[in-house]
Structure 1
Amino acid sequence: MVSGEFARAARRITPAVYTLRMRPRCPESVLTALIRQEETAMSLSRSPAVAGLFYPGDPRVLKRTVDELLAEASPEGEPPKALIVPHAGYIYSGPIAATAYATLIRVRATVHRVVLLGPAHRVALRGLAASSADRFETPLGPVQLDRAAIDLALTLPQVRLMDAAHVQEHSLEVQLPFLQEVLERFSLAPFVVGDAGPEEVAEVLDLLWGGPETLIVISSDLSHYHTYATARALDTATSAAIEALRPQDIGYEQACGRIPVNGLLAVARRRGMQARTLDLRNSGDTAGSRDQVVGYGAYVFH
């Protein structure tokens, strides 16, 4: 259960705010100036962009919220090599994300590196954007970036440094408190995915795949703004495609993070992996209206 004080405030915000419209759009000149200012500061660290909106900004409340969500999840099966998790506000998708993250508890001392990919929501870009920061901050403390892994990925032509893509991006940020609570110590290789082909994403994943010390996390919500019944049908079909490792069956209308998702599916198929759905719900099941919902799924890959 999400902590009471955060839940009361969060219920006043619709799932749409939690997915795409997290801030009013600024005039281009103002937005550019703000991004440049934050990019300068990012030479050392990236500050949280959605603390207090997508998840609690108070560290004590945040820790309690994440711990409660993880405690209510039931870890199933062997620890995964890769996850697909949602990225809405915790009041909406937190329980679904926790279902996936709880599977890591038994390997919390084994995983030392997390390769995290999520779709771009605020900045248009070609390929994948890496960060020049040394760490990403959250209310729970800093997460150190794996500069060696990032530099290795930067040898690929589809990967480039672009801090502007990271400054306001929530799809990566909302995963960090879960990772901080469930893993003992880890470094992070985060990438914002823009206009790229699944094979371009797959090439990055293959390069950084590693062994048991490396976890792959793909951040993606499912269908957006359909009625409850329509969303259930669409998301069920998407889950079937994920379990069948069929990237050709997943389009943009089915998952905002379809490009990184499909990149993972391509790698998983070549490596003979199996995918399993742990949880499949939408905002109408958790905290929102059923008139227009956003779908969320939790998936593990072995």
Structure 2
Amino acid sequence: MPIRDQQKIRRAAVAGRFYEGEALDLRRRMAETEAQLPPPAADARTTPVRGCILPHAGYLFSLGVAMETMREARHGSYRNVVLLGPSHYVGFHGVAGSTYTSWRTPFGDLSTALTLQEKLEESGNPLFQISDAAHTQEHSLEVEFPLIQYFLGSPEILPLVVGGIAPADLEPLAKMFAAIDSPETLWIISSDFTHYGENFRYTPFGESAPPEELNRLDREAAERIAARDLDGFCRFLGRTGATICGANPIALYLALLDRVDPERKISGEIVSMADSGEVTGDYSHVVDYAGILFR
């Protein structure tokens, strides 16, 4: 088990770029965005939320989707939030925790759920490692932290970066994660959906993506995820090559649900979808976003 400093803070890497760097400005943006959302579902207060799939783009593009999805979790009582996000900067195999004891945002610090991480370390699973390098610049987890603080206050969090994984890795990782799952744990899976354009090397519809075709593509993916169809989701990725950056974290969460809820009492629903083209008007370089809730 790594020796941890008494206090080791992971400082915000993308505050002031992906979201406002000052607390008042950030809270104002989030409050104004929430005020513009459609009314929540009638059963939002009665059905506990167990997991959310949220985008991790700049708030200018994806905050509405993230907040509309995440707001239903504010009625829950969570001791911990476990986050799974893809690695954008460091290549490795498996899942990486860190030695950070807290995570700083403009709203203050969130503490690491060290007890949960120690359980993962003690599992002896070779697919789990400690790597601060995987976390230092990673935005896929960081952009979710202010949402946790806005809606939930200050639960302990366990940010985990997901690197490359093979299909055979899903079952042992799901078994490892099952040991830290509970009704008092909220899972946040961080993923943007299709990245379209020459820069992403993905142009199945031509130079520019027709918005309706892009929406159709990602709605099919979102429907398979919400239906907890892990095999169907993997087949979709193989058939379309869709550039869903958090495909591995999503697959891991679906495998976890299969393990902890074989009776399928936890169900998914698509809450919101959008794309960056709605803001920029550019569909030759566009990213899709989907918010999916599990309860």
TM range (shorter): 0.7 to 0.9
Deviation at 1:201, TM superposition (A): 3.9
Deviation at 1:265, TM superposition (A): 1.4
Aligned residue for 2:274, secondary structure, equals strand
Letter in 2 for 1:75: P
Q: Which residue is 2:107 aligned to?
A: 140
Which runs of structure 1 show a deviation greater than 6 angstroms over 4 or more consecutive aligned residues?
40-43
Q: 2 CA distance for matches of 1:222 and 1:41?
A: 37
The answer to whether residue 221 in structure 2 is matched with residue 238 in structure 1 is yes
Q: Indicate the percent of aligned positions where both proteins have the same amino acid.
A: 32
Aligned residue for 1:248, secondary structure, equals helix
Q: After superposition, what is the alpha-carbon deviation per residue over 1:241-295, rounded to whole angstroms, capped at 9, x for unaligned?
A: 1122112233262421111101111232441121100011211234452232111
The 1:230–1:181 alpha-carbon spacing in structure 2 relative to 1, beyond 3 Å, is: same
Aligned residue for 1:295, secondary structure, equals strand
1:221 pairs, out of 176, 181, 192, with: 192
The answer to whether residue 18 in structure 2 is matched with residue 54 in structure 1 is yes
Letter in 2 for 1:248: D
1:70 pairs, out of 34, 39, 52, with: 34
Q: After superposition, what is the alpha-carbon deviation per residue over 1:150-189, rounded to whole angstroms, capped at 9, x for unaligned?
A: 1111223211110000000000000000100111330001
The answer to whether residue 175 in structure 2 is matched with residue 210 in structure 1 is no
Letter in 2 for 1:292: H
Unaligned stretches of 5+ residues in structure 2? 198-208
The answer to whether residue 249 in structure 2 is matched with residue 277 in structure 1 is no
1:84 pairs, out of 44, 53, 62, with: 53
Q: 2 CA distance for matches of 1:200 and 1:51?
A: 35
Deviation at 1:42, TM superposition (A): 11
Unaligned stretches of 5+ residues in structure 1? 1-39
Q: Which residue is 1:6 aligned to?
A: none
Q: Which residue is 2:81 aligned to?
A: 114
- RMSD of aligned C-alpha atoms? 2.0
Deviation at 1:119, TM superposition (A): 0.5
TM-score, normalisation: structure 1: 0.81
Q: 2 CA distance for matches of 1:204 and 1:114?
A: 16
Matches within 5 A, 1:163-178: 163-178=132-147
Q: 1 CA distance for matches of 2:189 and 2:149?
A: 16
Q: 1 CA distance for matches of 2:281 and 2:28?
A: 22
The 1:101–1:198 alpha-carbon spacing in structure 2 relative to 1, beyond 3 Å, is: same
Q: 2 CA distance for matches of 1:141 and 1:179?
A: 12
Aligned residue for 1:150, secondary structure, equals helix
Aligned residue for 2:220, secondary structure, equals helix
1:255 pairs, out of 244, 259, 273, with: 244
